[in-house]
Amino acid sequence: MSTRRNILKTLGVTVLTAGGIAHSSYASKKGDIAVGTIKFFPNINALVSEKKLKEGDIVKTLGYHQPNDGGHAEYLISDKQDQYEAGIALQNGLFALLINVSAVNYKMFGTVSDGVHDDGIEIKKAHRYANGQNLPVFNYTGEFWLKETNSIQINNNVEWGNSIFHIDEQFNTPKANKFVIASKKQKVKKAFSAQEKANIVNKFKPGVSVVEEFSPFSGHLIYIEDVNDKVGFRSGERFTGQSWAKQEFVYIEEHGKVLGEVAYIFKDFTTIEIIPVDDTYLTVNGGCFYLSGNSHGKGYTKNGFGIVRSRTLISNQVIRLEDGKKDTAPNARTGFYNFSKVYDVKLENIRLIPYEQDREGTANDVPAGTYGISGGRMLNATFRNVTAEGSSIHWGVFGTNMNKNFKIDGCHLNRVDVHFHCWNLSILNSRIGYRGISITGGGDLIIQNTTCENRSFINFRRDFGSKWDGDIKISNCKFIPAESAYNNILDFNPADFDYKYPIVFGRTISIENLVIDCENNKSKGPLYLMSLSGFSEMKHGERIKFPKNVQFRNVIVHGENKGVRIVTLYNPKGYYVDAKGSYDGVELKPNSKILIDNVSLEDFSGLKAEEKNNHILVKNGTKDIKDNHSLYLQIEIVNCPSIKMDISGLPAKVIIRNSNLSAFKSKQLGIMKGEIYLSECKILPEVTSEEEIALELDTTLATVFSNCTVHSPKITGKFVPSSLKSYDFIKINEKLRFNHSNTMLGKDILSFLKSQGSSLSPKFISMLKSHSDLEN
C-alpha cells in the first residue's frame, strides 16, 4: 500500500485508504461538502478485478499495464458499454467508461509495444473513440507494431511527435490501407431533373465560371463522369483497351462559382458525386514509419495512408525500411500516401522511399509500376519539402492521375509523374532525379528554379498521347542529361494512335535561363530543344496541334563540344495551328513563331553536311498547303553561333540577327515561299568540303541583308576564299543579288584580294552599301 500512496503523493493527491484501495476526496464547492470519492488503481488489471465498484463510481488508473506507462486515465463506472466499445469490462459485470478526456493517446487503450503483438488493434480503438468524441490524438512518443489491422480511421487532428510505427508488410492487402483519413460528413444524395441535367451539360464546359444548379452545394467537391464517353485510350500492346471515362471535378463556392478549370465538353453524364468539404483543416503531424519490405500478394497492395478527406495537411514524417531489411516485394504497391477525390491537401516535410522495381535479373523485377505516392482526382494539392530518391533499381516514387492545380515546391524526388490528365502544374525550387518529369494534360505548366536529371527535361507521356493542352513556362532551371542515344528538353512523341482526345504540343512554350550541364555527361547522341513525332497527321485523320509561340532564351550548355539542335518538323502542312496563316504570293502571314535567342547551338563544323546535321530541319515538306491552319512559320534566330537549317517545303518568314549563318537549304521543292531577313550577321559556311556549301537564299517575297558581313567558307577549319564561287548571290566586282544595306566583306576576302593584286570597284562598293533586287 505504501507504494501506491507514494505514487499518489507524487501526483499531489491527498490519499485516504479504505479496504486497501487508495482514495481521494471528491468535493464540490457547494459548502465544501464531499459528494463523492475518486478511487485510484495502479493499472487496468487491478481495476478490472475490483468487485466492490458500483455504478456511478469515479476511478483513476496510474497507467494501463503499470504505473507511469503513459496510459493513466479517469473512468466512470456504468452498467452499460459506450457506443464506441471503448469501455473496459469489469469482472463484476460493469464497465469503466473514459471521462474527462481532452486528448487521446494509444497507451490509454493498452498498446503493448513488444514487437509481437499487433498494436494496431488498440490504435484502431483509440481512433474510434477519438472520432466519436471529437477529440485529437496526442501520442508524442512510443514504438508500435502494426500487423494485420487495417483501416484505422482518422477523423480528427493527430500529433505523433517522435512516435515510431513498424509496419509488417507481409500483411499488406489490395483492399485496405493501414490508416484512412476521412470526413465524418456523408456524400449528398441528389437526383437532378431532366431539365437540371440538360442545363448542367450545357453550361459545364471549358471556360465555365458559374453553374447556378450547383448553388445549393457551396463548399462541396463536384465529380462528374460519363462512362459512355471514353477518352485517354492508352497506346501500347500491354494496355490494349485501357481508357478513361470522361470525367471532371470542381469545387463549388458561393452562388455556384466554379473553382478548377474544366477541360472537357460533355454530351451527358452518368454520375454526379457531391462530396462535402470540411470547414476545418485536419492535421496529421509527426511520426516515423519503418517498413519490413516483404509485401507480397497479387496486384497492387496497400499500406500507409488513404486520404479521402479534403483540407488535410500531413507533415513532418519519415518513411524508410527497417534497419537491416531490404525491399524484396515481388508485387507492386500503391502509394504510402494515396489521395482520392480531395480538395486543398498538402504533404510537407516528408521523407519517403521509392520502391524497387528493376532489380538485377528479370525474374526479380516487379511486373508493374510501384509507387510511394499515388492517387487521383486531386484539386489544389501541394507537396512541399518532400524527399524520395533512389537508384536506377527504384521505380518512380510518384504515380497519379487526374490532378488539377498541383504544386510541387522545394522537393527532391526521383520522379514526378501524372499518367492521365494533369491540369495546371507548378514545379518550383526542386530537384527531380533519374526517373524525370513524366506528364500529360494541359493548363499552365510552370517549372522554376528546378533541376532535372533524365533523358528528357520533360517527357510528355507517349502512352497517353504525349500532349500538353496549355502554356508551358520554364525558367531558371538546370537539365542534367542522362546517358542516352539522344536527349531533349521537351519530348513530344505520341504513337500514331487514336487517343480519343486532341493531341497538342503546347499552346505556347517559353523556356529561358536554362543551363544544360554536360560536364560529366557520357551521352554521345544529339540534344534537341524539342523532339517531335515523325508525323504531323495521324492515320485516323487527326492533326497534331502545334504551338502558336515557341521561345527559347538564354540556353547555355556546359561541356566541351556540346550544344543543342532546335527541332525537326515533319510534314508541316499536316500540323494544325489555332491561328490562321496564309500565303498569297504577295504576303506571308505566319500563324506560329519560333524564337531562338542566345542559345548554345551544336557545332557541326567538323561533321559532314548530312540531312540530320541541321539545327532546324523540315522532313517530308510539300509544295502544297492543306489550309489556313497548316503551319506558316516565323523563325527568328538571335545571338547564336553557327546556324544550319533545311526548311524545304515550309512557307516561312526567317529572321536571323547577330548570328552566324553557316548553311541554309530551302529549294528542294522549289523557291522558298516567304522571306528572309539577315541583320548584323556573318555569312560563314563551315563545311568539310566545297561541295557541302549551301546558301539557298532565294525566296518568292524578299531576301534582305542589313549590316551583314560576308566571309569566304571555312573548309575543315580554314578560310578558303577561292570557294567564294560557290555562293550564287555574290561575285566580286560583278554581281550582288537580293537587297543589301551596308553589307561588308570579311578580312579573309579583303586580304585574299590584296594578295591577288585585286581591289573592289567603286560600283561594287556602292552596291554593298545599298542595293535593291529591283536593280537586277
Give the tens place of pLDDT for each residue, 304-326: 999 999 999 999 999 999 999 99
Mean pLDDT of 33-48: 80
In this predicted model, what pLDDT tens digit does every residue of 466-507 receive, in sequence order? 999 999 999 999 999 998 888 999 999 999 999 999 999 999
**Which of 16, 99, 8 has its CA nearest to residue 59?**
99
**Which of 715, 714, 705 has its CA nearest to residue 677?**
705
In this prediction, residue 512 has a pLDDT band, given cuts at 50, 70 and 90, of very high
**Which of 576, 563, 632 has its CA nearest to residue 604?**
563
Q: How far apart are CA 681 and CA 336, in angstroms?
A: 57
Q: How far apart are the first and last CA of the chain?
A: 121
Percent of residues, the chain, with pLDDT higher than 70: 95
Percent of residues, the chain, with pLDDT higher than 90: 84
Instruction: Count the Cβ atoms, other than its own, within 10 Å of residue 55.
Output: 11
Q: How far apart are CA 617 and CA 645, in angstroms?
A: 6
Assign 3-class secondary structure to 457-469: EEEECHHHCCCEE
Q: How far apart are CA 121 and CA 143, in angstroms?
A: 14
In this predicted model, what pLDDT tens digit does every residue of 406-418 receive, in sequence order? 999 999 999 999 9
Please name the amino acid found at residue 697: L
The pLDDT score that the predictor gives to residue 19 is 33
The pLDDT score that the predictor gives to residue 486 is 87
**Which of 513, 99, 165 has its CA nearest to residue 318?**
165
Burial of residue 71, with CB atoms counted within 10 A of its CB: 0-12 exposed, 13-18 middle, 19 or more buried: buried
Burial of residue 376, with CB atoms counted within 10 A of its CB: 0-12 exposed, 13-18 middle, 19 or more buried: buried
For the ranges 183-192, 199-208, 238-247, 361-370, the lowest mean pLDDT is seen at 361-370
CA-angle at 151, arms to 148 and 153, nearest 5°: 135
Q: Residue 24 — left, alpha, or beta (φ > 0 → left; ψ -120 to 50 → alpha)?
A: beta
In this prediction, residue 146 has a pLDDT band, given cuts at 50, 70 and 90, of very high
Asked if residues 384 and 347 have their Cβ atoms less than 8 Å apart, the reply is yes
Mean pLDDT of 429-442: 95
Asked if pLDDT for residue 355 goes beyond 70, the answer is yes
Mean pLDDT of 730-747: 97
Write down the mean pLDDT value for the chain.
92
In this prediction, residue 1 has a pLDDT band, given cuts at 50, 70 and 90, of very low
H or E stretch at 508? strand 508-517
Please name the amino acid found at residue 774: L
- Residue 350 bridge partners (DSSP): 317, 386
Task: Show the cell assigned to 214.
Answer: 450547383
Q: How far apart are CA 374 and CA 403, in angstroms?
A: 11
Asked if residues 351 and 317 have their Cβ atoms less than 8 Å apart, the reply is yes
For the ranges 90-94, 278-282, 620-624, 700-704, the lowest mean pLDDT is seen at 620-624
The pLDDT score that the predictor gives to residue 359 is 85
- Residue 755 bridge partners (DSSP): none
H or E stretch at 120? helix 120-133
Q: How far apart are CA 444 and CA 470, in angstroms?
A: 6
Asked if pLDDT for residue 11 goes beyond 70, the answer is no
The pLDDT score that the predictor gives to residue 36 is 54
In this prediction, residue 34 has a pLDDT band, given cuts at 50, 70 and 90, of very low
The pLDDT score that the predictor gives to residue 20 is 35
The pLDDT score that the predictor gives to residue 345 is 98
Mean pLDDT of 331-347: 95
Asked if residues 223 and 266 have their Cβ atoms less than 8 Å apart, the reply is no
What phi and psi values does residue 762 have, to the nearest 5 degrees?
-55, -40
Asked if pLDDT for residue 183 goes beyond 50, the answer is yes
The pLDDT score that the predictor gives to residue 14 is 39
Q: How far apart are CA 733 and CA 761, in angstroms?
A: 6
Helix/strand number for the chain, H first, E second:
6, 55
The pLDDT score that the predictor gives to residue 395 is 87
Asked if pLDDT for residue 120 goes beyond 50, the answer is yes
Asked if residues 290 and 321 have their Cβ atoms less than 8 Å apart, the reply is yes
Asked if pLDDT for residue 389 goes beyond 70, the answer is yes
Q: How far apart are CA 228 and CA 664, in angstroms?
A: 52
The pLDDT score that the predictor gives to residue 536 is 97
User: Is 774 or 7 the better-scoring residue by pLDDT?
Assistant: 774
In this predicted model, what pLDDT tens digit does every residue of 515-564 receive, in sequence order? 999 988 767 789 999 999 999 999 999 999 999 999 999 999 998 778 99
Mean pLDDT of 585-614: 93
Query: Which residue bears the cell 500529433?
Result: 159
In this prediction, residue 16 has a pLDDT band, given cuts at 50, 70 and 90, of very low
**Which of 388, 385, 450 has its CA nearest to residue 414?**
388
Strand order in the sheet with 34-41: 16-18, 21-27, 34-41, 58-61, 73-78, 95-99, 88-89
Q: How far apart are CA 27 and CA 37, in angstroms?
A: 8
The pLDDT score that the predictor gives to residue 22 is 52
Q: How far apart are CA 762 and CA 744, in angstroms?
A: 14
Q: How far apart are CA 369 and CA 83, in angstroms?
A: 43
